[in-house]
Amino acid sequence: MTKEQSEALFQRGLKVLVEGVSSASRGPATFGGAPRYMSHGAGARLYDVDGRDYIDWMMAFGALPLGHAHPKVVETITREVARGTHFATALEVEVEVAEMLVALLPHVDKVRFANTGTEAAMAAFRLARGHTGRRKIIKFEGHYHGWWDAVLVNTNPLPPTMLGHPNDPIRIPDSSGIPEEAWKDTIVVRWNDFDALERAMALHGRDAACVVTEGVMSNMGVIPPKPGYLNRMQELCHQYGALFYLDETVTGFRLAAGGAAELYGLSPDIVTYGKALGGGLPMAMIGGRNEIMAGLEWGKVLHFGTHNAGRLALHLTKVMLETMLADNQAGFARIKELGLKMAAEMRQVAKASNRHGMVVQGVNSMFQIFFTKKEEIADYRDFCTHVDRTKFRDFALRLMDKGIYMNPSATLHSLSSIAHTEADIAATARAMAEVLEEMP
Ligand SMILES: Cc1ncc(COP(=O)(O)O)c(C=O)c1O
């Protein structure tokens, strides 16, 4: 198969873009060399500049529950772009979309729109600190809440000898250029561990502005919460007066219409959403009850943004919600059905091959394959110690050669959209069986 055009673009890109791309997860750090340069997408397919096509299981890191170029998206953008791109003024569609969101999410009385998950999280942390007058943030090992200094701590896999005692994880920022003051009030706790949580809350709960968690660990593959774990976290937050902040950037408008909060029966104090919310354009939001969200009023906790509530993105958010919610939320039921089917097929293929230690973990429309000798990857420490990431990259790159696109990083995950079909699942399973036979 030819990759000539991608190679040529990569060489050109290297001269003018850092690593040839705009985010490490798209370039050589993840691909080991030139990535595939994509030219267009349609439905569940991506097409590269060398004329190859792929079944796309990455879906822009979860930003596309409707798939690529959904007819309603194309129609809406075409209509609205002719009326102006962005005004940075109050908008009717802003009110309409906020009304839809408040009607859908029982824990949300008010929303504030932002552009990206990172930005929404930054505002949410500031709001939590402003609302409580407390400084500490309790976060979990392996959880990612965007690239802001205060929470960019223990978000990447570490060598097992650098993890520290489970009661007291060694705190390691994931970047140079982060001053110690930025994360001095950030407490890192082992996730999915009831005892570690109780202990951390007894030690820090009274000083904590919030406890922040992903609903499903989504940046170490896919690791579901243990039964009752998030509910206990919510209880402990109430007990110690810390806000319970559920980061739904990945899980929102994906695991269910009401995200992880609905799936696990939670009522978080603060939530942030991004990715799927915008249906393909940058859109994020902070949500919560009236008394907490009132903290964002002028003169209290500041949150600004030239591009907040972009009108094109709001129109797409509206299209995404209308499409996914139609016929009694059939869109959410469909992506769940497809995600569960794909994960089940993968388990079958892995079992039939029996050449590699593998487990497939998933929650509804999200799934990931781990090359491991363990039967389950239950937390970040399992991931760091027992998952063969090099082998996953080899697997994903071989799949790519067969027209199946998954991000080659084992820390990420795959996702279904309403554009996928049972035929895509069958084609993916066939390619996977071949790759497992070929792999050393
Ligand atoms: C759980 C979670 N929160 C926040 C973010 C940051 O979102 P964004 O990339 O839109 O800034 C991400 C991104 O992957 C995420 O997975």
Where helices occur in 105-158 by DSSP H, the ranges are 117-132
- pLDDT exceeding 90 applies to what percent of the chain? 98
Residue 409's pLDDT band (cuts 50, 70, 90): very high
Which atom from ligand 1 is nearest to the alpha carbon of 61?
14
Ligand 1: centre distance to CA 283 (Å): 12
- How many Cβ atoms are within 10 Å of 99's Cβ, its own excluded? 11
Mutating to test ligand 1, I would choose from 59, 144, 253 the residue with most ligand atoms within 8 A of its C-beta, which is: 144
Ligand 1: centre distance to CA 267 (Å): 21
Residue 250's pLDDT band (cuts 50, 70, 90): very high
Ligand 1: centre distance to CA 243 (Å): 20
Ligand 1: centre distance to CA 144 (Å): 7
The per-residue pLDDT for 301 is 98
Average pLDDT over residues 46-57: 97
**DSSP string computed for 74-111:** HHHHHHHHTT-S---S--HHHHHHHHHHHHH-TT-SEE
Average pLDDT over residues 151-173: 96
Ligand 1: centre distance to CA 220 (Å): 13
The per-residue pLDDT for 1 is 56
Mutating to test ligand 1, I would choose from 118, 251, 283 the residue with most ligand atoms within 8 A of its C-beta, which is: 118
The per-residue pLDDT for 389 is 97
Pick from 20, 417, 28, 79: which is nearest to 253 by CA? 417
Pick from 334, 360, 336, 364: which is nearest to 348 by CA? 360
Ligand 1: centre distance to CA 432 (Å): 28
Own/partner pairs, 390-398, CB within 8 angstroms, 24+ separation: 391/356, 391/439, 393/30, 393/32, 394/439, 395/369, 395/371, 395/435, 395/436, 395/439, 397/31, 397/32, 398/435, 398/438, 398/439
The per-residue pLDDT for 173 is 97
The per-residue pLDDT for 294 is 98
Which atom from ligand 1 is nearest to the alpha carbon of 282?
10
Question: Which residue's CA is the nearest one to ligand 1's atom 3?
Answer: 145
In this predicted structure, the answer to whether residue 126 has a pLDDT above a threshold of 70 is: yes
Q: Give 66-112 pLDDT, tens digit per residue.
A: 999 999 999 999 999 999 999 999 999 999 999 999 999 999 999 99
Task: Look at the chain and count its residues.
Answer: 440
Question: Which residue's CA is the nearest one to ligand 1's atom 7?
Answer: 117
Ligand 1: centre distance to CA 249 (Å): 6
113-122, 184-193, 323-332, 349-358: lowest mean pLDDT where? 349-358
Decide whether 4-69+331-438 matches 71-322 in CATH topology.
no
In this predicted structure, the answer to whether residue 255 has a pLDDT above a threshold of 60 is: yes
Which atom from ligand 1 is nearest to the alpha carbon of 121?
4
Average pLDDT over residues 273-284: 97
Ligand 1: centre distance to CA 218 (Å): 10
In this predicted structure, the answer to whether residue 257 has a pLDDT above a threshold of 70 is: yes
Question: Which residue's CA is the nearest one to ligand 1's atom 4?
Answer: 145
Residues with CB under 6 A from ligand 1: 116-118, 121, 144-146, 214, 218-219, 247, 249-250, 274
CATH 3.20.20.80 fits 71-322, yes or no: no
Domain segments of the chain: what residues? Answer: 4-69+331-438, 71-322
CA dihedral sign of residues 300, 302, 303, 304: positive
Ligand 1: centre distance to CA 274 (Å): 7
Mutating to test ligand 1, I would choose from 249, 283, 411 the residue with most ligand atoms within 8 A of its C-beta, which is: 249
Q: Give the Å distances, CA to CA, from 222 to 386, 402, 413.
A: 14, 24, 7
Among all chains, which residue has been given the structure tokens 């729109």? 113
- Centroid of chain to Cα 430: 27
Which atom from ligand 1 is nearest to the alpha carbon of 118?
11
Residue 46's pLDDT band (cuts 50, 70, 90): very high
The CATH architecture that domain 4-69+331-438 belongs to is: Alpha-Beta Complex (3.90)
Which atom from ligand 1 is nearest to the alpha carbon of 143?
1
Ligand 1: centre distance to CA 50 (Å): 30
Q: Give 331-382 pLDDT, tens digit per residue.
A: 999 999 999 999 999 999 999 998 899 999 999 999 999 999 999 999 999 9
Contact call for residues 352 and 433 (beta carbons, < 8 A): yes
Contact call for residues 202 and 185 (beta carbons, < 8 A): no
